[in-house]
Amino acid sequence: MSDDNQTASEADLEGAIDAATEAVSVQSAEFGEIDGAAVGAGNPIGMDALLEVPVRVTVRIGRASLELGDLVKLGPGSLVPLDREAHEPADVLVNGKVIARGEVVTIDNTYGIRITSVENEGA
């Protein structure tokens, strides 16, 4: 290949690269620091507002594993043994996580739970 052909090829290649570079233009923007006063016109969410958020609390007194054949046989008066003894505390769960344990009590005509221990956050 002659030097003229090689130089023309290099020039064509450089021209194609320049055209592709111009076609793909990347812009960047710089953002300043966020000013706390500029976040919004309203007040920031404080702990008081979060304390008003309702959460679903579940009390689990035990679990049982049954075969499907045994499950379909259940009816009024059937007994299902649970994996806990009667004196063991029930679990108090929030979002599926145990947060406390307690004993089941009756309050008027409804059941309740008396908290006997609260789980550590690190546990």
Q: Check residue 48 and give its pLDDT.
A: 82
Residues contacting 89, CB < 8 A, separation 6+: 101, 102, 103, 116, 117
pLDDT of res. 65? 94
Going along the chain from its start, the domains and CATH numbers come out as 57-118 (2.30.330.10)
What is the pLDDT tens value at each position of the chain, 123 positions in all? 555 556 777 778 888 887 777 777 666 777 777 665 555 556 677 788 888 889 999 999 999 999 999 999 999 999 999 999 988 999 999 988 999 999 999 999 999 999 999 998 655
